[in-house]
Amino acid sequence: MSCEHLICARCAHPVEEGNCPSCRAARARFHHHGPTPQQLMILCALLLLLAFSLALPHLAG
C-alpha cells in the first residue's frame, strides 16, 4: 500500500507531501521497512530460548 492517493484529514493536502505532523507520521508508517528494535529483541530472545532448549538435554545428561 502506498500513500500516493491519500488526503490528510487534518490539512487536506496529499499525505505524500508531508505538510503537517499527521501527514509525516502516516507517511513514515506507510514507508517503514524492516523490523523495529523491539521486534529484533524479541527475535533474539526467541532464538536464545530455542538454543537453550535444544542444548538443555545435552547439558543435563
Q: What are the residue ranges spanned by the domains of the chain?
A: 15-60
Asked if pLDDT for residue 58 goes beyond 90, the answer is: no
Q: Are 17 and 27 in contact (CB under 8 A)?
A: no
The model's pTM is: 0.46
User: Which pLDDT score, from 0 to 100, does residue 20 have?
Assistant: 92
State the average pLDDT for the chain: 86
Please compute the mean of the pLDDT values over residues 26-50 and round it to a whole number. 87
Asked if pLDDT for residue 49 goes beyond 80, the answer is: yes
Please compute the mean of the pLDDT values over residues 38-53 and round it to a whole number. 95
Asked if pLDDT for residue 2 goes beyond 70, the answer is: no
Helix and strand totals (H; E) in the chain: 2, 0
Contacts of 38 (CB under 8 A, 6+ apart): none
Cα separation, 42 vs 14, in Å, equals 35
